[in-house]
Chains A and B, each alone.
Chain A
């Protein structure tokens, strides 16, 4: 069924058709509507889930951890400071190997207080051991929740999917909401290997000395490496059933492009229009959309830029003291592989500043007119 819905509602529908069994969430702008609709689903009997009202995001994640440990499919959603408050338990969920799915609405961190989008909230959780997907459209949001459970329950690591505040969360567009029975064929019931149970009791998360902790970390990384392939398969299987896929690193007119723009989130969508226009003008520009950020599909990225002459990374985030975070990832990924490839790091759209086609044109023009970047950070649109 196709419906015109907001990104927030796409999250709620995604959690519903995935048959989430426990939902524990705390409202925060701009995520609130997700929680509202899910609580309505539960109240109206459209979703057979336990909806746990909690007093904070910390408790929300704690509840999801407990629920997931019993083998239930657990879901939550948050944003910005809510995600930051969860930080300790994000580690817990990952190290506890719990396949929780979390939707984070990208919102800038305060103060100065902002409810508008940028990626620093989710990127600050980069090292917690969660998979991260950055979404471009409402359809992709819904699909990524289903895929997230599918991937997480195979590898026992949690998934965070990320959507831009307002540009997605509050924007309505047509979304195909798949039939729940069809989703069932893609996403079978979760069957936990280790679970909290009175019949076969385990203790979880016990003291782990130097003899073993190291190996736990090793196994996590091993799994993360496998996750790339599992995610690819999950996307392919999704396409077979639902007729659409989203890729991990999506190539858009990039194979023969001299300049490749590397983007994520809703900026990717606007960039497609710009690329189309530039192509029509005969300018050889393409785009790579980084959908999967953790684990980072390094080899896939390297393959995608094999023939490029320049790469321009657009970061809607900043690692203060270093630069754009995607830029870091990509320079690191390319180290020793294409030392001749200039990588430009652009910072744009922080705190919800609009990234319009003009902004992207400015970035393209800058990259086209410079052989190499003058600085590690190129600020676009900042009022100096």
Chain B
């Protein structure tokens, strides 16, 4: 019997038995039958926002990093982070990692060790001498506008980094003799080794950013030297320690915890007593106490509320306690007792928690008659820091001791921008990095005469204020629909339970005797395993499920790019691809008739 060819997209109608094969056999296809027109709902193939991405104040593509690390593409992962900020090595050590809090996997077994993975990636970049990704000539061409950045902390440096990428040559003015701000002078080296920070700052300098140290900006300088700058970014941080406001505070043995850390980090000699009390429950308090311990003194932390209200990163508190530092909860000093100007004792009162205050935390109330005395020789205060803003002119509005800024970092004065700890935002490195990015975008759009608000809105990640610099600089590359993927959206049938890999814990006895970094990083194999646990919420990784399961063969791999095409002429809207997509990269939409 002779075989004939028939058009694939047409109904085959035989005029006579002679034309027909002797049996029922497919000679063409059913493509002529456009079953898509019967659809009530349609699948949409579109990446969604992973919750980790939304939670990251620094705007990292957290999921993207996991995706690349799982495949061992650490160089690409490093460059992906560098699209957003230049500090993976730093952040891999000091970030409070809210991403892990948001991680959907946490509802299944345990969150991904995102923080540990980031540290590995950061170290990988430094160990392999990687160079930050460059922009196209078009996007990064040289620009002539003059930009000054006051403060070489994380906010200022990140802003400078991105402006430099865009072709500007920002001038960074730093009061301290070294750049890095709180990262350099606030955080002890057992948490953040100096060489890591310096190496990452070196990347920024190499991009043409001019950092002038020992350059404290006062009002005079601001008005004269910076007068012809096109834009100024104020990122001076918060370095003024709050006072205890108790008798005896003026004694020489009562000192600012932050100042102690600064002196220590700048290599100055500080004399402290054998018995030390640190007042406060934040990271400065923890850093101070653990540094004191390493200097060989006995130290106790006194905090007026309970553990639940501590502002310090829980991991830091845990490590402090692990190192044997006692924390005296629900107590506050009311008097420092001196003997010949030397601190000898501190009188405290016990507290109990009352009604919540404006911060939402329960207000501590003294318990009458519960006073007690502690023997101490040095008292470090670490009950909060505030910005020092006296150099600002009056036309820059401040409120509650912080600079008032818009969502885009604009101050009340045109051309002046501010961010980091100098504005009212959570005092974390991640937030400082995020504000540096926001300001870089605002400064660029301002100088280029574009609509800042509109552009900023288009580069938002989720609803928590993070922005994607990659999307700003490279267009649609990191486009995710604004929907944040929930745990319920994940098809758990495709994921096996697997233990989380944590950072190996250091030998405490050794650790607490020196300022050498406490935690070591993860080995490469652990990183690929750990990243492999990622659900990749909302982001297609071409697992092929939709392609395999589609009963109408209506999903095909793109021939020239990553991803899939949906043939809406034949998709019947059965929803199986959506059901079987493990990660909500497919979703359903009502058909508009």
Direct contact of A and B (CB under 8 A): yes
Q: Which listed residue (A112, A382, A383, A384) contacts B23, Cβ 8 A? A: A112
- A383 adjacent to B14 (CB under 8 Å): yes
Q: Which listed residue (A113, A382, A383) contacts B24, Cβ 8 A? A: A113
Tell me the complex Cα distance, A113–B17, Å.
17
Known: A111-B23, A382-B17, A384-B16. 9 other contacts (CB 8 A): A111-B24, A112-B23, A112-B24, A113-B24, A383-B14, A383-B15, A383-B16, A383-B17, A384-B18
Most central of A113, A383, A384 by chain B CB within 10 Å: A383
Interface string of A71-109 (1 = CB under 8 A from B): 000000000000000000000000000000000000000
Tell me the complex Cα distance, A110–B23, Å.
10
Which chain A residue shows the least CB distance to B13? Answer: A383
Which chain A residue shows the least CB distance to B25? Answer: A112
Number of chain B residues whose Cβ lies closer than 8 Å to a Cβ of chain A: 7
Tell me the complex Cα distance, A112–B26, Å.
11
Within 8 A of A (CB), among B1-40: 14-18, 23-24
Question: Which residues of chain A have C-beta atoms less than 8 A from B23's C-beta?
Answer: 111-112
Number of chain A residues whose Cβ lies closer than 8 Å to a Cβ of chain B: 7
Q: Looking at the assembled complex, report how far the CB atom of B315 sits from the nearest CB atom of chain A, in whole angstroms.
A: 60
Tell me the complex Cα distance, A112–B22, Å.
10
Question: Which residues of chain B have C-beta atoms less than 8 A from A112's C-beta?
Answer: 23-24
Interface string of A110-143 (1 = CB under 8 A from B): 1111000000000000000000000000000000
Give the dominant DSSP class at A's interface: loop
- B17 adjacent to A384 (CB under 8 Å): yes
Which chain B residue shows the least CB distance to A110? Answer: B24
Which chain A residue shows the least CB distance to B15? Answer: A383
Q: Can you list the 8 inter-chain pairs with the closest CB atoms, starting with the nearest?
A: A112-B24, A111-B24, A383-B16, A384-B16, A384-B17, A383-B17, A383-B15, A382-B17
Tell me the complex Cα distance, A326–B17, Å.
24
Tell me the complex Cα distance, A344–B303, Å.
110
Question: Which residues of chain A have C-beta atoms less than 8 A from B17's C-beta?
Answer: 382-384
Question: Which residues of chain B have C-beta atoms less than 8 A from A382's C-beta?
Answer: 17
Which chain B residue shows the least CB distance to A383? Answer: B16
Question: Which residues of chain B have C-beta atoms less than 8 A from A383's C-beta?
Answer: 14-17
What are 14 A-B contacts with C-beta separation under 8 Å? A110-B24, A111-B23, A111-B24, A112-B23, A112-B24, A113-B24, A382-B17, A383-B14, A383-B15, A383-B16, A383-B17, A384-B16, A384-B17, A384-B18
Question: Which residues of chain B have C-beta atoms less than 8 A from A111's C-beta?
Answer: 23-24
Q: Looking at the assembled complex, report how far the CB atom of B171 sits from the nearest CB atom of chain A, in whole angstroms.
A: 80
Tell me the complex Cα distance, A110–B14, Å.
19
Question: Which residues of chain A have C-beta atoms less than 8 A from B16's C-beta?
Answer: 383-384
Tell me the complex Cα distance, A111–B23, Å.
8
Which chain A residue shows the least CB distance to B14? Answer: A383
Which chain A residue shows the least CB distance to B16? Answer: A383
Question: Which residues of chain B have C-beta atoms less than 8 A from A110's C-beta?
Answer: 24
Tell me the complex Cα distance, A17–B24, Å.
42
Tell me the complex Cα distance, A384–B20, Å.
10
Which chain B residue shows the least CB distance to A111? Answer: B24
Question: Which residues of chain A have C-beta atoms less than 8 A from B14's C-beta?
Answer: 383
Question: Which residues of chain A have C-beta atoms less than 8 A from B15's C-beta?
Answer: 383
Tell me the complex Cα distance, A112–B14, Å.
15
Which chain A residue shows the least CB distance to B19? Answer: A383
Tell me the complex Cα distance, A44–B540, Å.
50
Within 8 A of A (CB), among B463-520: none
Within 8 A of B (CB), among A343-382: 382
Tell me the complex Cα distance, A384–B14, Å.
10
Which chain A residue shows the least CB distance to B18? Answer: A384
Tell me the complex Cα distance, A113–B25, Å.
11
Q: Looking at the assembled complex, report how far the CB atom of A8 sits from the nearest CB atom of chain B, in whole angstroms.
A: 26
Interface string of A194-222 (1 = CB under 8 A from B): 00000000000000000000000000000
Which chain B residue shows the least CB distance to A382? Answer: B17
Tell me the complex Cα distance, A111–B26, Å.
12
Q: Looking at the assembled complex, report how far the CB atom of A379 sits from the nearest CB atom of chain B, in whole angstroms.
A: 10
Interface string of A299-341 (1 = CB under 8 A from B): 0000000000000000000000000000000000000000000
Tell me the complex Cα distance, A312–B15, Å.
28
Tell me the complex Cα distance, A111–B16, Å.
19
Tell me the complex Cα distance, A127–B139, Å.
87
Tell me the complex Cα distance, A112–B27, Å.
13
Tell me the complex Cα distance, A376–B15, Å.
25
Most central of B15, B23, B24 by chain A CB within 10 Å: B24
Tell me the complex Cα distance, A111–B21, Å.
13
Which chain B residue shows the least CB distance to A113? Answer: B24
Tell me the complex Cα distance, A86–B501, Å.
61
Question: Which residues of chain A have C-beta atoms less than 8 A from B24's C-beta?
Answer: 110-113
Tell me the complex Cα distance, A384–B18, Å.
6
Q: Looking at the assembled complex, report how far the CB atom of A47 sits from the nearest CB atom of chain B, in whole angstroms.
A: 37
Q: Looking at the assembled complex, report how far the CB atom of A143 sits from the nearest CB atom of chain B, in whole angstroms.
A: 37
Q: Looking at the assembled complex, report how far the CB atom of B190 sits from the nearest CB atom of chain A, in whole angstroms.
A: 71
Tell me the complex Cα distance, A364–B14, Å.
27
Question: Which residues of chain A have C-beta atoms less than 8 A from B18's C-beta?
Answer: 384
Tell me the complex Cα distance, A383–B17, Å.
6
Question: Which residues of chain B have C-beta atoms less than 8 A from A384's C-beta?
Answer: 16-18
Tell me the complex Cα distance, A384–B17, Å.
5
Tell me the complex Cα distance, A297–B191, Å.
104
Tell me the complex Cα distance, A382–B20, Å.
12
Interface string of B380-420 (1 = CB under 8 A from A): 00000000000000000000000000000000000000000
Tell me the complex Cα distance, A295–B24, Å.
35
Q: Looking at the assembled complex, report how far the CB atom of A97 sits from the nearest CB atom of chain B, in whole angstroms.
A: 40
Q: Looking at the assembled complex, report how far the CB atom of A351 sits from the nearest CB atom of chain B, in whole angstroms.
A: 11
Q: Looking at the assembled complex, report how far the CB atom of A238 sits from the nearest CB atom of chain B, in whole angstroms.
A: 43
Q: Looking at the assembled complex, report how far the CB atom of A380 sits from the nearest CB atom of chain B, in whole angstroms.
A: 14
